[in-house]
Structure 1
Amino acid sequence: MSSEEDAVEFQNQRGLEALEVRKPQFISRSQERLKKLEHMVQQRKAQQNESPRPKQSLLPVRANKKQFTVPHPLSGKLQVAGEG
């Protein structure tokens, strides 16, 4: 470790000690939040392992489908059959 990294680690340690002394509830709530998040991650992983999703979409995708934009009726870009 470099001296800068040592200084940062020392400051972080001092900050944690100050929090422990002045705001112990902050630390305990943070730890509880972390535990909940870790538990949620484990649940999601377990669910994914139990029922893996199919890789294909449930709805068929039509590769040859053409998409047309519909012009606004007042845009002047409407064509009547036989004009074009």
Structure 2
Amino acid sequence: IGPVIATALVAAVDDARHFRSGRDLAAWIGLVPRQYTTGGKPKLGGIGRRANHYLRRQMVHGARAVASHQRHRAGGRGDWIRALE
């Protein structure tokens, strides 16, 4: 995360203590589906319309840029990104 995304995240999130975990924050941004548990069984919902579309777009574009840059490098992150793909 660079300075643009970091400042946008700080500006958008009033108080990080409102989220129980990082996954809840990611669901609020719209990066992962919301998770509901009923009877001990986790159920995944959809990515909500109320998600922060600006933050989501910035994070996805940043990750794509890093992936395309690191994909051609040997070792470390390059190997990890190729394994993910």
Report the TM-score, using the length of structure 2 for normalisation. Answer: 0.31
Which structure dedicates a bigger proportion of its chain to strand?
A: 2
TM-score normalised by structure 1 residue count = 0.32
Between the two structures, name the one with larger relative contact order (CA 8 Å, sep ≥ 6): 2
Q: Which has the larger radius of gyration?
A: 1
